[in-house]
Amino acid sequence: MDFATFLIQCLNALQYGLLLFLVASGLTLIFGIMGVINLAHGSFYMIGAYMAYALAPAVSAIFGGEFFSTLAVGLVLSVILGYVLEWAFFSYLYEREHLQQVLMTYGLILVFEELRSMLVGDDVHGVTVPEWLNGSFALNEVMSYPVYRLFMSGVCLLLAIGMWFVFTRTRLGMMIRAGTSNREMVQSLGIDITLLYRIVFAIGVALAVFAGMIAAPVSSVYPGMGNSVLIICFVVVVIGGIGSIKGALLAALLIGLVDTFGNVLLPQAAGVLVYVLMALILLWRPNGLFKD
Amino acid sequence: MQKRTVLISAAAFAVIAATTNTWAQAHPQSKLKVGFMLPATGTFASLGTAIDNGFRLYVAEQGGKIAGREVEYVRVDDESDPSKATDNVNKLIKRDNVDVIVGTVHSGVAMAMAKAAKESGTLLIVPNAGAAAVTGAMCAPNIFRSSFSNWQPGYAMGEVAAKKGHKRIVTITWKYAAGDEAVKGFKESFEKNGGTVVKELNLPFPNVEFQALLTEIAATKPDAVFTFFAGGGAVKFVKDYAAAGLKKNIPLYGSGFLTDGTLEAQGADADGLLTTLHYADNLNSKRDQNFRLAYAKTYKLQPDVYAVQGYDAGQILGIGLNATKGDAKNIQGFAQAVRAAKIDSPRGTFTISKNHNPVQDIYLRKVVGKENVMDSIASKALADPGLGCKM
């Protein structure tokens, strides 16, 4: 591998890592900070991608502007979806055993997959990116890099900084973190913990949907796409240390690096390298890289 | 007391089951039970529907009867899940007592079905799954395939690429049976015709993060790239290949599933791609046009390669049963008739090899707009080697 190729691979690794963080960010909130084992995270991601595809024609007819107005409408819908789901199902789960959370969220996967099949069908679809993001620039004489991938990386970075700021530097973040350590105590201090959790959950769902919408033009939209990201998302959260946003970002970048170079240098083992990494890190630090 | 009642009813049930069974054998004019084991949910659901539709279209054309026997269908959703496959196929064989099993799409599931069919001796017609072993190591007198083997399109493309004067080629696919077999076929004919496969790139199924491997391709600078991907992975690969700027510098060739059922999503990025398969969108034969018209009329849908494979599964069953006068237990007579037949398929006439895989023309197709347009015949009457088949 010559130096130029090495640099391009580093760029690939960085970009993939940031994308992983984006996809896992919703899970960091719901599983990491709120402590609910949410297997339906992949379904929320899938819903996002299908929204980017299916809402686009209607949205551009009503509001104009293709991709970004769809994004905005999708976000609003997903916050509502998250709010309703928390009210109807998840609010009963906080005090229950983990197994019951697993069962219910697994049930949600089946329900969402079936709904998807009924509403949109089982075909593969593509999502087009807005014109000004559609270009690419040359890296060398054969290869070029799509602008949209850089745009995604930028979005991921902004999101990481934003989440970190909200959770460690604001009053809202403090209340949420306090809520995870002791629900009753927070409540007795006069904070409406039920409402707070409902909002955080809705934001978590919105993040997963947002990730699906942003990734849709690159990943394409297809049945079962949620399941393919679910496991890697849990790996990101667990390696990073449950509840740590900084940790999740670092973990995502590490996985991006291992996966990219693993695919090139050790293709026979590429499928397991990420899990080997997870095992090693957990042996070294059983609570993940960062644990508050 | 209760135990005894259970015992008695079980015994009574066994007697009834045994008598109905002999009755069915003694009267070939009873209903013919066709067991569909196809995906009705999951990624391959639409493929399952197309196969089902194609098969029923053939039966409807015969007036709802095959060899004088009225056809009755039993359906099992295989969920494309190999871990449930043995249970599912045994439901058809033991519980429903079907005369013939038709299925399936997923190769892993098809392998379990072949194993069960081999043991029970029930007729099995595979209408898609291209795994080599189905008509290779697992082959049996009662197992037939109406579709293709993964090796066939790959082998045909190897000849095409060599003829175009390419010398150094990189292959890229998922590390699983279908991808490996397609690449193996490609490599075999490409290297026989003077080319070299300089690098075989793989990634674990069903990963779709191709960027690292695309960078490898760019660094290797081969004359061309051969690939096997299907479904969502095929869409993403074709788009990423174009987005990385490789499409205009390094020609991409693929096994036909790269551009089948995916063109809508791939858009302009697929334009001009060359792939090989046993079917194309505009064969312009009378037979194909009639088939497409009838299919579109019946189902309000355009047929695809899967519909053709389902239809031909029906044809194979028809040919075999007509020869045995409707007796699905006469495997020898059935197989003899099918091996001797020229099957008049919408894809063009094909025969069945001695290991029961189609011997068929593989077309070179070019993506034009939203269609895989037939360019030429890449390989005439191509037969799978059927390695490991002892029959």
CB B54 within 8 A of CB B288: no
Return the higher-pLDDT residue of A224 and B153.
B153
| A residues 5..64 contacting B (CB < 8 A) | 5, 8-9, 12-13, 15-16
CB B163 within 8 A of CB B349: no
Q: How far is residue B145 CA from its own chain's centroid?
A: 7
CB B15 within 8 A of CB B7: no
pLDDT digits (tens, 9 = 90+) for A186-211: 889 999 989 999 999 999 999 999 99
pLDDT digits (tens, 9 = 90+) for B322-370: 999 999 999 999 999 999 999 999 999 999 999 999 999 999 999 999 9
The answer to whether the CB atoms of B264 and A263 lie below 8 A apart is: no
Would you say residue B26 has pLDDT above 50?
A: no
Across residues B133-155, what is the average pLDDT? Answer: 95
A184 Cβ under 8 Å from any chain B Cβ: no
For residues B204 and B42, what is the distance between their CA atoms, to the nearest angstrom? Answer: 20
Q: Angle between the A41-54 and A193-219 helix axes, to the nearest 10 degrees?
A: 60
Residues of A in contact with B42 (CB under 8 A): 223-224
| Burial of residue B3, with CB atoms counted within 10 A of its CB: 0-12 exposed, 13-18 middle, 19 or more buried | exposed
pLDDT at residue B22, rounded to an integer: 43
Would you say residue B371 has pLDDT above 90?
A: yes
β-strand pairing of B196-203 with B168-174:
parallel
B19 within a domain of the structure (yes/no): no
φ/ψ bin of B284: left (φ > 0), alpha (ψ from -120 to 50), beta (otherwise): left
Q: How confident is the model at residue A61 (pLDDT cuts 50, 70, 90)?
A: confident
Residues of B in contact with A121 (CB under 8 A): 46
DSSP string, A168-203: HHSHHHHHHHHHHH-HHHHHHTT--HHHHHHHHHHH
Domain end call among B277, B298, B329: B277
CB B312 within 8 A of CB B288: no
Q: Angle between the A171-181 and A147-169 helix axes, to the nearest 10 degrees?
A: 70
Residues of A in contact with B246 (CB under 8 A): 142-143
| A residues 115..144 contacting B (CB < 8 A) | 117, 121-126, 128, 136, 138, 140, 142-144
For residues A161 and A13, what is the distance between their CA atoms, to the nearest angstrom? Answer: 19
B182 Cβ under 8 Å from any chain A Cβ: no
CB B357 within 8 A of CB B328: no
Tell me how far apart the 2 most distant CA atoms of chain B are, in Å.
82
B380 within a domain of the structure (yes/no): no
B128 within a domain of the structure (yes/no): yes
Pick the CATH number of A3-284 from 1.10.3210, 3.30.1490, 1.10.3470, 1.10.287: 1.10.3470
pLDDT at residue B24, rounded to an integer: 44
Report the run of H or E that residue A137 belongs to, with start and end: strand A136-138
> Do B80 and B99 belong together in one domain?
yes
pTM of the model: 0.86
Q: Which residues pair with B276 in a beta bridge?
A: B255, B364
B378 within a domain of the structure (yes/no): no
Question: Could you tell me which of B101, B152, B164, B110 has the C-alpha nearest to residue B134?
Answer: B110
Across residues B251-256, what is the average pLDDT? Answer: 96
Measured in residues, chain A has a length of 292
Domain ranges, residue B172: 151-277
> Do B174 and B250 belong together in one domain?
yes
CB B149 within 8 A of CB B120: no
Would you say residue A110 has pLDDT above 50?
A: yes
Instruction: Using CB atoms, pick whichever of B204, B213, B265 lies closest to residue A124.
Output: B265
Q: Which residues pair with A46 in a beta bridge?
A: none
For residues A99 and B300, what is the distance between their CA atoms, to the nearest angstrom? Answer: 46
For residues B134 and B143, what is the distance between their CA atoms, to the nearest angstrom? Answer: 8
Q: For chain A, what percent of residues have pLDDT higher than 70?
A: 100
The answer to whether the CB atoms of A142 and B203 lie below 8 A apart is: no
Buried b (16+ CB within 10 A) or exposed e, A254-264: bbbbbbbbbbb
Instruction: Using CB atoms, pick whichever of A12, A113, A271 lies closest to residue B212.
Output: A12
Q: How confident is the model at residue B177 (pLDDT cuts 50, 70, 90)?
A: confident
Q: How confident is the model at residue A139 (pLDDT cuts 50, 70, 90)?
A: confident
Would you say residue B8 has pLDDT above 80?
A: no
Q: How confident is the model at residue A62 (pLDDT cuts 50, 70, 90)?
A: confident
The answer to whether the CB atoms of B245 and A138 lie below 8 A apart is: yes
pLDDT at residue A141, rounded to an integer: 82
Residues of A in contact with B176 (CB under 8 A): none
Instruction: Using CB atoms, pick whichever of B45, B206, B209 lies closest to residue A259.
Output: B209
Quote the number of domains for chain B.
2
Helix ranges restricted to H, chain A: 3-27, 41-54, 56-62, 67-88, 98-119, 147-169, 171-181, 183-188, 193-219, 225-240, 245-265, 270-284
B390 within a domain of the structure (yes/no): no
Q: Is the peptide bond before B206 cis (omega within 30 degrees of 0)?
A: yes
Instruction: Using CB atoms, pick whichever of B201, B244, B264 lies closest to residue A143.
Output: B244
| Burial of residue A226, with CB atoms counted within 10 A of its CB: 0-12 exposed, 13-18 middle, 19 or more buried | buried
β-strand pairing of B358-368 with B371-382:
antiparallel
Residues 6+ apart with CB under 8 A from A276: A269
pLDDT at residue B5, rounded to an integer: 52
> Do B105 and B195 belong together in one domain?
no
B383 within a domain of the structure (yes/no): no
pLDDT digits (tens, 9 = 90+) for B293-305: 999 999 998 999 9
The answer to whether the CB atoms of A220 and B45 lie below 8 A apart is: no
Q: How far is residue B173 CA from its own chain's centroid?
A: 19
CA distance A265 to chain B (A): 10
Of A41-45, A256-260, B79-83, B296-300, which gets the smallest average pLDDT? B79-83
Q: How confident is the model at residue A292 (pLDDT cuts 50, 70, 90)?
A: low
B112 within a domain of the structure (yes/no): yes
Would you say residue B14 has pLDDT above 80?
A: no
For residues A240 and A242, what is the distance between their CA atoms, to the nearest angstrom? Answer: 7
Q: Please count the CA atoms within 13 angstroms of the CA of B43 that sit on its side-chain side.
A: 17
The answer to whether the CB atoms of B245 and A142 lie below 8 A apart is: yes
Would you say residue B18 has pLDDT above 50?
A: no
For residues B164 and B253, what is the distance between their CA atoms, to the nearest angstrom? Answer: 11
> Do B254 and B323 belong together in one domain?
no
Q: Which residues pair with A144 in a beta bridge?
A: A138
Residue in B with minimal Cα distance to A15: B211
pLDDT at residue B1, rounded to an integer: 41
The answer to whether the CB atoms of B41 and A114 lie below 8 A apart is: yes
Q: Which two tokens stand for residue B389?
A: 């088949």
Q: For chain B, what percent of residues have pLDDT higher than 70?
A: 93
3 state SS of B147: coil
Helices and strands (H and E) in chain B: how many:
12, 15
B302 Cβ under 8 Å from any chain A Cβ: no
| B residues 21..80 contacting A (CB < 8 A) | 41-43, 45-46
B375 within a domain of the structure (yes/no): no
Question: Residue ranges per domain, chain A?
Answer: 3-284
Question: Could you tell me which of B256, B292, B293, B291 has the C-alpha nearest to residue B373?
Answer: B256
Tell me how far apart the 2 most distant CA atoms of chain A are, in Å.
65
Measured in residues, chain B has a length of 391
At B162, which CATH number? 3.40.50.2300
Across residues A55-68, what is the average pLDDT? Answer: 84
DSSP string, B42-110: STTHHHHHHHHHHHHHHHHHTTTEETTEEEEEEEEE-TT-HHHHHHHHHIIIIIS--SEEE--SSHHHH
Q: Which two tokens stand for residue B14?
A: 């066994």
B248 Cβ under 8 Å from any chain A Cβ: no
Q: Which residues pair with B202 in a beta bridge?
A: B173
Phi, psi of B127 (to 5 degrees): -95, 5
Q: For chain A, what percent of residues have pLDDT higher than 90?
A: 60
pLDDT digits (tens, 9 = 90+) for A144-164: 898 999 999 999 999 999 999
Buried b (16+ CB within 10 A) or exposed e, B274-312: bbbbbbbbebeeeebeebbebbeeebeeebbbbbbbbbb
3 state SS of A204: helix
Would you say residue A216 has pLDDT above 70?
A: yes
pLDDT digits (tens, 9 = 90+) for B114-143: 999 999 999 999 999 999 999 999 999 999
> Do B295 and B263 belong together in one domain?
no
The answer to whether the CB atoms of A264 and B213 lie below 8 A apart is: yes
Q: How confident is the model at residue B16 (pLDDT cuts 50, 70, 90)?
A: very low
